[in-house]
With several copies, the nearest count.
Chain A
Amino acid sequence: MDLDFTRAEQDFRAEVRDWLAGHVPGVPLPSMDTREGFEAHREWEHLLAGERLSVVSWPVEYGGRGASLVEWLIFEEEYWAAGAPGRVSQNGIFLLAPTLFSHGTAEQRERFLPGMARADDVWAQAWSEPEAGSDLAALTSRAERVEGGWRLHGQKTWSSRASYADWGFGLFRTDPASARHRGLTYFMFPLDGVTVRPVAQLDGEHGFAELFFDGLFVPDDLVLGAAGEGWRIAMATTSSERGLTLRSPGRFLATADRLVRLARSTGADPVLADQVARAWLDAESYRLHTFGTARRLAAGEEIGSASSMGKVFWSELDVRMHALALRLLGERGLLDGGAPDAEEGGRWLDGYLFSLAGPIYAGTNEIQRNIIAERVLGLPR
């Protein structure tokens, strides 16, 4: 056991840091939940991709550098520490791509990965449905078999990025007689044949949308894996890298460092200072833990349901850090970007509202605790 980065890892970190220092926009980009901000973020992804920094862990042929998991973690640390923009490509590169690598055809990988890496194609996820929030197996949207492909029917919700994205992916029921996890199929589809209705969030922006499918035709070559295997395919990656890549430590380390700076500048009361110190160390612990996990994955181990522990830990930490920042700022913490007195353009408030979704999405923390209890600890269902 050691914490010594290799020469190559150190060089990579230095390169990333230097490049970001020279290229991260001085003024934050507009919100990616606006048309203008979306395009600005896409431009930024183009810039990243030009340096082969958009998907460092992918093979070179698809636009990456074939970097190791540890190098990817280094990239993430530097990326968020530099205050670089959020990743508009996130759904594609972190949720869809791992599945394409493991279950897609060579043609699908060649067709979609390079465009995803350059953000020429931005992908929206379409997992959830109004009546199947946390209970993903209760999906009712369906795909009907037709000549050469399928026709999609039904409604999806909480589709992030869908307002402006190019493509979507999600599960549809292909066997009408099936129930729960069986008979679902993993589809990719163009969003221009889908009715997209943006949903206003607490902060008034439209990061989510509802998708309405009214017989959209999807050819067979947009099915990922075999028909009826959708659930297994979608879940398979959650226990491998996705558990790691959903939220990398770099993000929380950057927030923790900002929080410490905020606490110093506001002369935090000792009680709040104690909580800030705890949060900083929790972020550090998440980082160290992830280094260990990366090694186990690199050695070919599966992390399985243990990723649920990480999900609960980082999502609660993220809420705690942002709530703490609002406490440090008092009344000013609740001002938004339009207020002259807002701190950092209301970034802590935005971050707080965003953080509150963490314990809800990607399996609520209640469900994660069930998974930990049943699958990690072995308690009865």
Chain B
Amino acid sequence: MNFAFTDDQLALAAAVRQVLAAHCPAEAVRNGRTPAWSQLAEIGLFGLLVPQEHDGLGLGLVDAVLPFEETGRAALPGPVAETAVAAPLLLAGDPALGKLAAGSLRVSVRIGDQGYAPDADLADLLIVEREGVPYAVRPEAARLTPQPGVDRRRPLFGVEFRDAARLRTGIAPAVRAVTVAVAAQLVGAARHLLDTTVGYARTRRQFGAPIGSFQAVKHQLAEVAIAVEFAAPLVYAAALAVDRHLPTVDRDVSAAKAAAGEAAELAARTALQVHGAIGYTGELDLGLWLARVWSLSAAYGDPGLHRSRLRTAILDTPEVRRWP
């Protein structure tokens, strides 16, 4: 039993982090739609879950979880979870997987508890659920209705379509995987907010001292650190549960999304409170991450929905199972 990431897993995450540091600074988040995508394609992010026979790496979700933390930490724009995690599962067996692995097929989805397709205007292919069945929709066959919201760097769209190809795969595995990927992004975004806020609290002075020396600020940030620290293991375990098709997988995915969403929301709230009024403005980049946290926390089922599922899973099943 080794509940720690392997050197390979850590190396891949480090590579993603390095690429994002170089190609997805806050300025790119603010102004770009798909910064760093081509560089991420080069290091194989979009082929992670694509089988080797389709030129992918054939890895598991557990290998993707740290790279996805990094995309969350950088607030990477674009439908990255949809393209790199949902699409490989929905398109299983499809020849398009090769293009996907190469990073030349950008995909948005509207599946599961998600009512809108994120970044659908950028997609080369839309995959849309109707009555539990996934359909592949070409952009020219889709009518997109912009549904703008709090996160302008992750625009949502309603999707209607005329003409579509029914896919042979199931919806549930893709929903689970993309939900875990988004949970990982939330953990990453929370880590960024914590780091940024700590940095601000170390330098901003009020009443003659850095505000980070006040116990009220310290304790709020300590609580954020604890929340993130104990949300992350649930995300990692959910990734393993997805890879292993465990009977508890739906519970584990809900636990990951609920805990990550709540931790990230706490990080956002605390970041704003510690920054004070300046955090409330477009002067800082903080708002980009706040909006991302709110939007991802609501995506693929918000913490309230997942908590209500957890209540049922834990209280109403005859025997609660741990795994292993």
Question: A: which residues have CB within 8 A of B?
Answer: 1-6, 9, 70, 128, 131-135, 138, 157-158, 199-204, 208, 253, 257, 260, 263-264, 268-274, 276-278, 280-282, 284-289, 291-292, 295-296, 299, 306, 309, 312-313, 319, 326-328, 330-336, 338-342, 349, 353, 356-357, 359-361, 364-366, 368-370, 372-374, 376-381
Stretch at the interface among B19-27, B133-141, B177-185, B281-289: B281-289
**Interface residue? B34 (CB, 8 A):** no
Q: Is the contact region of chain A dominated by helix, strand, or loop, or is it mixed?
A: helix
Whole-angstrom distance between the Cβ of B238 and the nearest chain A Cβ: 10
Listed residue (B194, B213, B218) with the most chain A CB atoms within 10 angstroms of its CB: B218
Question: Once the chains bind, are B277 and A356 in contact (CB under 8 Å)?
Answer: no
Question: Which residues of A sit under 8 angstroms from B307, Cβ to Cβ?
Answer: 271, 274, 277-278
Question: Which residues of A sit under 8 angstroms from B31, Cβ to Cβ?
Answer: none
Question: Which residues of B sit under 8 angstroms from A319, Cβ to Cβ?
Answer: 269
- Would A331 and B148 be within 8 Å (CB), given that A1-B3, A2-B240, A291-B1 are in contact? no
Whole-angstrom distance between the Cβ of B102 and the nearest chain A Cβ: 27
Given contacts A309-B225, A330-B301, 19 further A-B contacts (CB under 8 A): A1-B2, A2-B3, A3-B240, A3-B324, A133-B278, A135-B206, A200-B283, A277-B310, A280-B320, A281-B310, A330-B298, A334-B295, A336-B148, A366-B215, A370-B222, A372-B222, A373-B218, A373-B222, A381-B213
Stretch at the interface among B76-84, B89-97, B226-234: B226-234
**Interface residue? B172 (CB, 8 A):** no
- Would A135 and B222 be within 8 Å (CB), given that A128-B277, A288-B3, A334-B150 are in contact? no
* A373 CA / B215 CA spacing, docked (Å): 9
Q: From A4, A253, A263, A271, give the contact of B308 (CB < 8 A).
A: A271
Q: From B4, B231, B315, give the contact of A1 (CB < 8 A).
A: B4
Interface size on B, residues (CB 8 A): 87
Whole-angstrom distance between the Cβ of B218 and the nearest chain A Cβ: 3
Whole-angstrom distance between the Cβ of B304 and the nearest chain A Cβ: 5
* A285 CA / B223 CA spacing, docked (Å): 16
Question: B: which residues have CB within 8 A of A?
Answer: 1-6, 9, 62, 113-116, 145-152, 156, 158, 194, 198, 201-202, 205-207, 209-210, 212-219, 221-223, 225-226, 229-231, 233-234, 236-237, 240, 255, 259, 269, 272-273, 276-278, 280-283, 287, 290-291, 294-295, 298-299, 301-305, 307-308, 310-311, 313-315, 320, 322-324
- Would A377 and B221 be within 8 Å (CB), given that A3-B323, A281-B234, A330-B298 are in contact? yes
Question: Which residues of B sit under 8 angstroms from A131, Cβ to Cβ?
Answer: 205
Please provide the 4 A-B residue pairs with the shortest distance between their CB atoms, ordered closest to farther: A373-B218, A200-B282, A288-B233, A291-B3
Question: Which residues of A sit under 8 angstroms from B310, Cβ to Cβ?
Answer: 277-278, 281
Question: Once the chains bind, are B237 and A202 in contact (CB under 8 Å)?
Answer: no
Question: Which residues of A sit under 8 angstroms from B255, Cβ to Cβ?
Answer: 281, 284
Number of A-B residue pairs, CB cutoff 8 Å, is 261
Question: Which residues of A sit under 8 angstroms from B4, Cβ to Cβ?
Answer: 1, 292, 295-296, 299
* A5 CA / B255 CA spacing, docked (Å): 22
- Would A349 and B315 be within 8 Å (CB), given that A5-B324, A285-B231, A285-B233 are in contact? no
Question: Once the chains bind, are B226 and A372 in contact (CB under 8 Å)?
Answer: yes
Question: Which residues of B sit under 8 angstroms from A339, Cβ to Cβ?
Answer: 146-149, 156
Question: Can you give 17 A-B contacts (C-beta < 8 A)?
Answer: A134-B206, A200-B282, A200-B283, A203-B150, A269-B308, A270-B311, A277-B313, A291-B1, A295-B4, A333-B298, A334-B150, A338-B146, A339-B147, A339-B156, A342-B149, A373-B217, A373-B221
Question: Which residues of B sit under 8 angstroms from A281, Cβ to Cβ?
Answer: 234, 255, 259, 310, 314
Question: Once the chains bind, are B304 and A269 in contact (CB under 8 Å)?
Answer: yes
Q: Which residue of B lies closest to A327 (CB)?
A: B304
Question: Once the chains bind, are B216 and A366 in contact (CB under 8 Å)?
Answer: yes
Whole-angstrom distance between the Cβ of A267 and the nearest chain B Cβ: 10
Question: Once the chains bind, are B302 and A330 in contact (CB under 8 Å)?
Answer: yes
- Would A282 and B2 be within 8 Å (CB), given that A208-B281, A334-B151 are in contact? no
Question: Which residues of A sit under 8 angstroms from B146, Cβ to Cβ?
Answer: 338-339
Question: Which residues of A sit under 8 angstroms from B290, Cβ to Cβ?
Answer: 202
Question: Once the chains bind, are B282 and A360 in contact (CB under 8 Å)?
Answer: no
- Would A376 and B311 be within 8 Å (CB), given that A2-B240, A133-B206, A369-B218 are in contact? no
* A288 CA / B259 CA spacing, docked (Å): 14
Q: Which residue of A lies closest to B239 (CB)?
A: A1
Question: Which residues of B sit under 8 angstroms from A364, Cβ to Cβ?
Answer: 273, 276
Question: Once the chains bind, are B281 and A1 in contact (CB under 8 Å)?
Answer: no
Question: Which residues of A sit under 8 angstroms from B277, Cβ to Cβ?
Answer: 128, 133, 157-158, 208, 357, 360-361
Q: From A1, A2, A288, A370, give the contact of B218 (CB < 8 A).
A: A370
Question: Which residues of B sit under 8 angstroms from A199, Cβ to Cβ?
Answer: 281-283
Question: Once the chains bind, are B217 and A70 in contact (CB under 8 Å)?
Answer: no
Question: Which residues of B sit under 8 angstroms from A309, Cβ to Cβ?
Answer: 222, 225-226, 229-230
Whole-angstrom distance between the Cβ of B224 and the nearest chain A Cβ: 9
Question: Which residues of B sit under 8 angstroms from A287, Cβ to Cβ?
Answer: 322
Question: Once the chains bind, are B206 and A357 in contact (CB under 8 Å)?
Answer: no
* A1 CA / B242 CA spacing, docked (Å): 14
Question: Which residues of A sit under 8 angstroms from B114, Cβ to Cβ?
Answer: 331
Question: Which residues of A sit under 8 angstroms from B280, Cβ to Cβ?
Answer: 201-202, 356-357, 360
Question: Which residues of B sit under 8 angstroms from A2, Cβ to Cβ?
Answer: 1-3, 62, 240
Question: Once the chains bind, are A1 and B215 in contact (CB under 8 Å)?
Answer: no
